[in-house]
Structure 1
Amino acid sequence: MIINLVSMKKNIKKLYTPLFYMKIIVLLFFCFAESGCKKFIEVEAPITSVNGGNVYTDDANAIAAITGIYAKMSNTGFSLNFSIYPELSADNFTLFTTLQDLNYTLYFQNALNSLYTNSPQFWDDEYNFIYTSNAAISGLSVTNSLTPAIKQRLLGEAYFIRAFHYFYLVNLYGDVPLVLSTNYIDNSKLSKTPIASVYQQMISDLNQAKSLLDDQYVDASILRKTTERLRPNRMAVNALLARVQLFVKNYAAADAASTEVINKTDLYSARIPLNQVFLKNSMETIWALQPMRFEFSTDEANLYIPSESIGPVYLSASFLGSFEMGDLRRSTWIGELVFDMYDYPYPAKYKALYGSSTLTEYSIVLRLAEQYLIRAEARAKLNDISGSQSDLNEIRHRAGLPNTSANTTEDLLTAILKERRIELFSEWGHRWLDLKRTDLINSVMQKEAPFKGATWQPYMELYPIPYADIKVNSNLTQNTGY
C-alpha cells in the first residue's frame, strides 16, 4: 500500500538546534492554529499571532518567525498539493480510480464547487502565508531592535514570500483581493483587485527583495554562508521575477532576469546527470524546502512511488505520448509498476522513501531548467531565434536529445511548450498554468475531458472561491460558473 502520510511520525527533524526549532514550533502553533489564522481576510488576528509588537524585538525571534514560514510550507504537504492537484486538473495525470478519493476526483474531473471544504484549501493557505508575510514586512520595517544585516535579509525574504504566494493565488483564482496589511477590519471588506495590478505588486515586492538580498545562501543565523539552499537569495528572486515577467508578457525583462540566474555559474548548472537533479542542494536547485519529519525526505516520493499496489495517480497516455524516442527523462524520471497485467507509469523524480535516517532529497521549488525555458520563450517572442534555440538545446542535450529542428518563432514556441511539459511535469502545477497563459486550455481540455469521464467548460480554468469567504464579505464576488 502507499504510505499513509497522515499516520506517519510527526517528530520534527532537528535542523539546527533544539532551542531554535522550539521557537519555530511555538510560533507555528500560534500563527497557524486553526482558531487563529483560518480566515485572515475576515477575522481579527489573535493576540498570540506573529506581529511586529511581539516578535520583531530581537534577532532570534525575528529569524524564527520567518523560518517558521518555510517550516510550515514544508511540514504540511504544501509543495505536494501544488504538484498534484493542478496536475490532476490538467492533462498530465490519470486517476487509478475515481472512487478512491473524492478530493482527487473533483480536481481530476474539473468538478470543483465552492461548498466542498475537504479538498486542499489553496485560497485559505495562500492568504495565511500572505498575512504572515504582511506581518513580517510591517514588523521588520519599523523595528530598531535587530542587527541591521539580519533585519535587511529577513525583510527581503518577507517581500519574496509575499510575491511567491500571490503568484499562485492569482494563477488559480484570477482577480483576488490584494491584502497588504494585517488590518482585519479593512481586509474583511476588500473586493477583488484586477490580476494585472496584483502582478504589478508582485514585481514591486520582488524588486524590493532584490535590493535587500545578496547572492549567498545563509544558514539559520542569517549571517553565515552555507551550502544548504533553503533560504531564498537574490537569484531565487530573479528566478521568480523571470517567471512573473514571462506571465505578464514583458519578454525583455524575463530575458534579463533569467540571464542573471543562468550566468551565476559558480552556483548553478544544468549540465549535471538527470539522476542528480533532484538530490538535495544540487547545482540545479535555486530554492528548496527541507523536510521537517523524522526519516522522511519528500511528500512527492512517498505519494507517487507505489509500494505494493499502484498509487492514487499515474501518468496520462497523452503525457507519455509527448516524449521523443531516446529521451532519457522517460527512463530516469518515470517508474513503472505492472499491476493486474497493466503498466502504470508514475513520477519518479524524487526517489527517497520514508524510513531513511539520511535525508538525500529536498522538495525543489525553483530550479535552473525552468530559467532556460523561460529565456528560450522570451527570446523566441523577441525574435532571437538562435538564442532561443540555444537555450532549448541546453535542456534537450541533457536529456540525450539532438538540437531542436524548430527555426521559426511559432515552431519554437510550440517546441518550448512541449519541452516545459516534459521537463516540469509533477512540479508546482506548471502544466496547468502554462495551458492557461498560452490560451490553449480550452482546446486541450476539451480533448482530454472524455478520458476523465468529464465535460469541460471554459470557466473551469479558475478555481472557485470558498463560499464561506463570499458569505462574510459582501464585496467579494464568486468566480463565474460557480
Structure 2
Amino acid sequence: MKIYWKYLLIVGFSALSACQKFLDVQPRDAVSDELTIVDKTSANTALRGVYRKLAADSYYGTLFQTFGYLPGDNVQWTGSQSVIQQFITHKINADNGNLQSVWTAIYATINAANHVITKVPLVQDATFSAADRKQIIGEAYFIRALCYFDLARTWGNVQITLTPTLSASDKSDLKNSTQAQVYTQVLTDLNAADSLLLPPASPNPVRANQQTAWALKARYYLYQKDYVQAANYAGKVLADKKTYSLLHPYSAFFTPASTLATKESVFELSYSATYTNGHRNSWQPPVNSGTRQWAPSDAFIALVNDPLIGGNRNALVAKTSAGLWYGNLYYRSSPSVDPSYVIRIAELYLIRAEALAQQNKLDDAREDLNAIRERAGLLPNTATDKEALLLAIENETRIEFALEPHRWFDLARTDRAGAVLNVTDKRLYLFPIPANEIVLSNHLLKQNPGYDE
C-alpha cells in the first residue's frame, strides 16, 4: 500500500465549476501540506479540492458510476476489453484495473476530506466566522460519509481512516473493518454533517446542506432495512417543496442543454470547460463525436419505449440514422459539462415508497410510487398486496434511474440479484479488493470471500 498512500499525500486543489462563485475559483495544484489550510481562503480552497476529487473521472465522473449499472440489466458494453466485460458477467478479477482506479479515487477523496475535518477547526483567522467554519467541516463530513457508503456497498470489508495521511507508510498497517463497521462510520459522519450544516436558503444542489445529509441518511437506512427511519428522512426532504420538486416531464431535469442544477437534484456534481465530464463521450455514438462504449440494452430499450412502462422517459434513449440506440442522459458537448447526478428527489419518493410498503402502509406507498408514474405520463399503479407493490417499485426504479448508478446496488441490497440476474453466489454481491492493495499491505488487508488473493 506504500504507493497508494503516497499518492494520497498531497491534498488536491482543483476547483469544481458551478454557477456559484465558490466553485469558480481557479485551483492551485501543488501546495505543501503545512501550507494547505491556514486561513479562511485556504479552507475554502481545500474544500473545493474535496469536491473535485469526488467528481473525478475515476469516481462520480465516470468509472464508479459504471459499477452501479454495468452489472445490471439496463446497459450493455459494446467493446471487447475484458476489464469491462468482467463487471457484466459478474466474474471480476482482483487485478481489474478499473477496480483499482475507483478504490484509489475514493480513498483520495477521503484523505482530502480528512485534511479539512482535522485542520479547519484549528485555523486562526478573525474573518473566518463560526457559521462558515461549520459549513465547510459539515460538507467534508458529508462527502466522507458518501465515500464510506460507496465503499461499504461495493467492497464491504474495507479500511477506515479518519486522519490525514502524513507519510507514505503511516497507514500501511491498516486492516479490514467489517461491512457493518464501515456502515457505522457512515452514520457517524452523517450525524456530524447533520449537526453542522444548515437547510438550504435557496436551491443549490452542487453543495451539501443539511437536507443533503438527510437524503443520504434515507438511502443509508433503506440499505440497513430500517424502514421507519428511511421513510422518516425521505419525508423530511420531500416536505421542502420550495427547494425540491419533481420536474415535468421527466426530461426536464436534464434538457435543454442549458438546464443545470434544477430543483430535481438534491445533490449533483458540476463541471466546466476547464474540468469536463468524460461520461458523455462513453454514451454518445460516433456521429455525435462519442465512442458509445456503453449503450442501452435491448431489454431496456423495449421497456423504456413501451408507452405503458417507460412513458415519457423514452427521452433517455435516442437512435442514429443508422439504427444505433444510445443513452442520451449525458449529451452536452463543446464543452462536455453534463452534471453527475448523485441524489435526485425522485429517489426520495421511491425510497419512501419502498420503506412504507415494507411497513404494510400500502396506500401511502402507492401514493409516492404514483407521483413518479404521473411525472412519467403513466396511469396510477393499483397493486393491493405488499409483494406486488414492492415489485412495482423495483421495476419503476429500474426505468427511472436506468443510466444512473442504482440498478446493481438495488438488486444486491434486496437479495434479488439471483432471481433477476442469476447471480446466485451471494459472495459476489461484493467486489474483490484490488489485488495490488493486498500485496502492498503485506497481506494485512484480506481479500473478500469468493475471490482469490
Q: Where on the TM-score scale, by shorter chain, does this alignment land: which range? A: 0.7 to 0.9
Q: Is 1:477 equivalent to 2:446 in the alignment? A: yes
Shift in alpha-carbon separation, 1:19–1:416, aligned structure 2, 3 A: closer
- Secondary structure in 1 aligned to 2:161? coil
- Secondary structure in 2 aligned to 1:292? coil
- Give the structure 2 partner of residue 152 of structure 1: 134
Q: Is 1:303 equivalent to 2:279 in the alignment? A: no
- Give CA-to-partner distance per residue, 1:101-149, whole Å, 9 cap, x none: 3432232233322224366622111111111112211112333433212
- Give the structure 1 partner of residue 68 of structure 2: 86
- Give the structure 2 partner of residue 397 of structure 1: 374
- Give CA-to-partner distance per residue, 1:250-297, whole Å, 9 cap, x none: 11111111111101000111142222112312110111111133495x
Q: 1:175 aligns with which of 152, 157, 161?
A: 157
- Give the structure 1 partner of residue 37 of structure 2: 56
Q: Which whole-Å CA distance do the structure 2 matches of 1:269 and 1:378 have between them?
A: 20
- Give the structure 2 partner of residue 269 of structure 1: 245
- Secondary structure in 2 aligned to 1:189? coil
- Give CA-to-partner distance per residue, 1:3-47, whole Å, 9 cap, x none: xxxxxxx9996967799734x332xx45xxxxxxxxxxxxxxxxx
Q: Where do residues 227-306 of structure 1 align in structure 2 (5 Å cutoff)?
A: 228-278=204-254, 279-294=259-274, 296=276, 298-306=277-285
Q: Which whole-Å CA distance do the structure 1 matches of 2:402 and 2:23 have between them?
A: 38
Residues 25 and 68, structure 1, Cα contact 8 Å, conserved in 2: no
- Give the structure 2 partner of residue 410 of structure 1: 387
Shift in alpha-carbon separation, 1:368–1:133, aligned structure 2, 3 A: same
**Structure 2 letter corresponding to 1:141:** P
Q: 1:166 aligns with which of 141, 148, 158?
A: 148
**Structure 2 letter corresponding to 1:364:** Y
Q: 2:294 aligns with which of 292, 301, 313?
A: 313
- The range that moved more, 300-309 or 232-241, is 300-309
Q: 2:176 aligns with which of 178, 181, 192?
A: 192
Q: Is 1:441 equivalent to 2:417 in the alignment? A: yes
RMSD: 2.8
Q: What's the CA shift for 1:83?
A: 2.4
Residues 251 and 378, structure 1, Cα contact 8 Å, conserved in 2: yes
- The range that moved more, 302-311 or 163-172, is 302-311
| Number of aligned positions between the proteins | 424
* Structure 2 unpaired stretches of 5+: 1-13
Q: What's the CA shift for 1:354?
A: 2.9
Q: Which whole-Å CA distance do the structure 1 matches of 2:112 and 2:293 have between them?
A: 33
Shift in alpha-carbon separation, 1:18–1:139, aligned structure 2, 3 A: closer
Q: Is 1:107 equivalent to 2:81 in the alignment? A: no
**Structure 2 letter corresponding to 1:57:** V
- Give CA-to-partner distance per residue, 1:177-234, whole Å, 9 cap, x none: 12222366563222221212211221121111111111126xxxxxxxx654311111
Q: What's the CA shift for 1:335?
A: 1.2
Q: Which whole-Å CA distance do the structure 2 matches of 1:170 and 1:117 have between them?
A: 20
- Give the structure 1 partner of residue 28 of structure 2: 25
**Structure 2 letter corresponding to 1:300:** H
- Give the structure 2 partner of residue 129 of structure 1: 109
- Give the structure 1 partner of residue 57 of structure 2: 76
Shift in alpha-carbon separation, 1:418–1:16, aligned structure 2, 3 A: closer
Q: Which whole-Å CA distance do the structure 2 matches of 1:462 and 1:280 have between them?
A: 34
Residues 63 and 98, structure 2, Cα contact 8 Å, conserved in 1: no
**Structure 1 letter corresponding to 2:320:** L
- Secondary structure in 2 aligned to 1:21? coil
Q: Which whole-Å CA distance do the structure 2 matches of 1:128 and 1:21 have between them?
A: 21
Residues 246 and 254, structure 1, Cα contact 8 Å, conserved in 2: yes
- Secondary structure in 1 aligned to 2:152? helix
Runs of 4+ in 1 over 6 A off after TM superposition: 10-20
Q: What's the CA shift for 1:73?
A: 2.9
- Give CA-to-partner distance per residue, 1:393-443, whole Å, 9 cap, x none: 00000111111121211111111111111101111x210100110111123
Q: Which whole-Å CA distance do the structure 1 matches of 2:50 and 2:275 have between them?
A: 21
- Secondary structure in 2 aligned to 1:346? strand
- Give CA-to-partner distance per residue, 1:145-180, whole Å, 9 cap, x none: 332121110110011011001111111111111222
Q: 1:215 aligns with which of 185, 191, 199?
A: 199
- Secondary structure in 2 aligned to 1:377? helix
**Structure 1 letter corresponding to 2:293:** P
Shift in alpha-carbon separation, 1:368–1:439, aligned structure 2, 3 A: same
Q: Which whole-Å CA distance do the structure 2 matches of 1:317 and 1:60 have between them?
A: 51
User: Identity of aligned pairs, percent?
Assistant: 29
Shift in alpha-carbon separation, 1:227–1:382, aligned structure 2, 3 A: closer
Shift in alpha-carbon separation, 1:189–1:380, aligned structure 2, 3 A: same
Q: Which whole-Å CA distance do the structure 1 matches of 2:22 and 2:401 have between them?
A: 36
Residues 322 and 418, structure 1, Cα contact 8 Å, conserved in 2: no
Q: What's the CA shift for 1:86?
A: 3.1
* Structure 1 unpaired stretches of 5+: 1-9, 31-47, 218-225, 448-455
Shift in alpha-carbon separation, 1:371–1:17, aligned structure 2, 3 A: closer
Residues 15 and 48, structure 2, Cα contact 8 Å, conserved in 1: no
- Secondary structure in 1 aligned to 2:25? helix
Shift in alpha-carbon separation, 1:87–1:118, aligned structure 2, 3 A: closer
Q: What's the CA shift for 1:321?
A: 4.2
Q: 2:358 aligns with which of 346, 365, 381?
A: 381
Q: Is 1:424 equivalent to 2:401 in the alignment? A: yes
- Secondary structure in 2 aligned to 1:204? helix
- Give CA-to-partner distance per residue, 1:58-117, whole Å, 9 cap, x none: 10100010111212333535322222343112221112232xx34322322333222243
Q: 2:428 aligns with which of 460, 465, 469?
A: 460
